[in-house]
């Protein structure tokens, strides 16, 4: 390795985790985020670094642009995605225990409903503290337009956030209770935990069995899980992880087919308002590296 390679790595590596967080929020995929950041690392090696006054800002712009280019093709793929699309679940260890609100599944889903430019403007300004002049350079728009993009995005994000927070301990207690009830077919307990307007999303990506459409209402959702328990002969799978999943209480289990599954719950005012299940194995593969959850 040449001295120049060592210099490039020394400047880049302290920024890698932050850049990965930025790319994950933009793309909703940890594996794609890591690929984008690695592409940025390779490009950084070929950059005239002597002309770069602020490496951190320069790298943020580079990753943002790479993500925007990637989103063009990702949008096309998601239009043909089989069943509900959910972001890849992130467990607490993935970012060294830094699983704060801006990584939550609720925020990720709100971002997914934004245009790529709205998403970038909001993230770069509200989450990463970048000024609108710099954002304008990154997005090739004028500062006033970027300010409007961020304002529209901020409004959508605020509307999507839960109205009532729940403590980590209470949230995990409810997640454990729901997990047990859903696997034992305890219909009464399921109904007591669910809000009337609860919604369930199951993301199998056309690879594993999953509901092709969201399930609405406490009666339908509780009967769905009770029926699933009967189908699985009331067997409770091994729990690989229990704790925050994309900022929400949940569990990761090892299912009968030998593949993992993540379950995360949104809880408001003491009741479960949303159930997010990821079964697509391509979205769970990264857990092996970030948390050591998946047996080899």
Domain positions in the chain:
3-160, 168-290
How does pLDDT run across 180-231, given as a tens digit for each residue? Answer: 999 999 999 999 999 999 999 999 999 999 999 999 999 999 999 999 999 9
Angstrom CA distances, 222 to 26, 41, 170, 218, 239, stand at 33, 47, 21, 6, 21
Query: Is residue 86 within 8 Å of 104, Cβ to Cβ?
Result: no
Which own/partner contact pairs does 114-117 have at CB distance under 8 Å and 24+ positions apart? Answer: 114/152, 114/153, 114/156, 115/149, 116/26, 116/67, 116/68, 116/71, 116/72, 116/75, 117/68, 117/141, 117/149
Average pLDDT of span 141-146: 94
CATH number of this structure's domain 168-290, picked from the four choices 3.40.718.10, 1.10.10.10, 3.10.450.50, 3.40.50.300: 3.10.450.50
Q: What is the pLDDT of residue 49?
A: 86
Report the alpha-carbon distance of residue 175 to residue 46 in Å, rounded.
Answer: 48
pLDDT in tens, 54-96: 888 899 999 999 999 888 776 667 778 899 999 999 886 544 4
Fold match flag (3-160 vs 168-290): no
Half-sphere exposure of 19 (CA within 13 A, CB side): 29
For residues 117 and 101, give the distance between their C-alpha atoms in angstroms, rounded to a whole number: 21
The CATH fold assigned to 3-160 is Butyryl-CoA Dehydrogenase, subunit A; domain 3 (1.20.140)
For 5-59, the pLDDT digits (tens) are 688 888 899 999 999 989 998 898 888 999 999 999 999 988 888 888 888 889 9
- Higher pLDDT among residues 246 and 182, named by residue: 182
Confidence grade of residue 262 (pLDDT, cut at 50, 70, 90):
very high
Indicate the SS3 state at residue 98.
coil
pLDDT at 179: 96
What secondary structure does DSSP assign to 127-185, as a single string? IT---HHHHHHHHTS-HHHHHHHHHHHHHHHHHHS-SS---HHHHHHHHHHHHHHHHHT
Give the span between the Cα atoms of 153 and 155, in whole angstroms. 5
Is the whole model's pTM more than 0.75, yes or no?
Answer: yes
Mean pLDDT score of the chain:
87
% of the chain beyond a pLDDT of 70: 89
Q: What is the mean pLDDT of residues 244-273?
A: 92
At what angle are helices 55-79 and 3-27 packed, to 10 degrees? Answer: 40
Collapsing DSSP states into helix, strand and coil, what is residue 31?
helix
Per mean pLDDT, which range of 89-93, 123-127, 278-282 is the poorest? 89-93
Which residues 6+ apart lie within 8 Å of 8 measured at CB? 44, 45, 49
Pairing label, strands 271-278, 194-203: parallel
């Amino acid at each position: 390795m040449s001295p120049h390679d060592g210099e490039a790595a020394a400047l880049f590596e302290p920024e890698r985790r932050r850049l990965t967080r930025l790319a994950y929020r933009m793309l909703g995929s940890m594996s794609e985020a890591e690929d984008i950041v690695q592409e940025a690392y390779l490009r950084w090696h070929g950059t005239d670094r002597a002309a770069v006054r602020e490496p951190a800002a320069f790298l943020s712009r580079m990753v943002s642009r790479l993500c925007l280019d990637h989103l063009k093709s990702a949008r096309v793929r998601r239009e043909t995605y089989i069943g509900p699309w959910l972001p890849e679940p992130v467990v607490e260890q993935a970012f060294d225990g830094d699983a704060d609100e801006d990584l939550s599944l609720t925020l990720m889903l709100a971002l997914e409903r934004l245009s790529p430019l709205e998403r970038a403007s909001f993230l770069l300004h509200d989450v990463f503290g970048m000024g609108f002049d710099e954002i304008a350079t990154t997005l090739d728009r004028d500062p006033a337009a970027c300010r409007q993009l961020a304002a529209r995005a901020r409004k959508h994000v605020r509307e999507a956030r839960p109205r009532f927070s729940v403590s980590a301990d209470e949230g995990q207690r409810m997640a454990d209770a729901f997990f047990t009830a859903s696997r034992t077919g305890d219909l009464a307990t399921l109904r007591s935990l669910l809000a009337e307007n609860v919604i369930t999303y199951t993301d199998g990506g056309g690879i594993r069995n999953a509901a092709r459409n969201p399930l609405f209402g406490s009666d339908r959702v509780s009967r769905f899980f009770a029926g699933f328990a009967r189908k699985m002969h009331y067997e409770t799978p091994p729990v690989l992880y229990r704790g925050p999943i994309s900022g929400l209480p949940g569990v990761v289990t090892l299912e009968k087919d030998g593949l993992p599954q993540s379950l995360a719950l949104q809880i408001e005012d003491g009741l479960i308002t949303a159930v997010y299940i990821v079964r697509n194995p391509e979205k769970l593969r990264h857990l092996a590296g970030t948390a050591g959850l998946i047996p080899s």
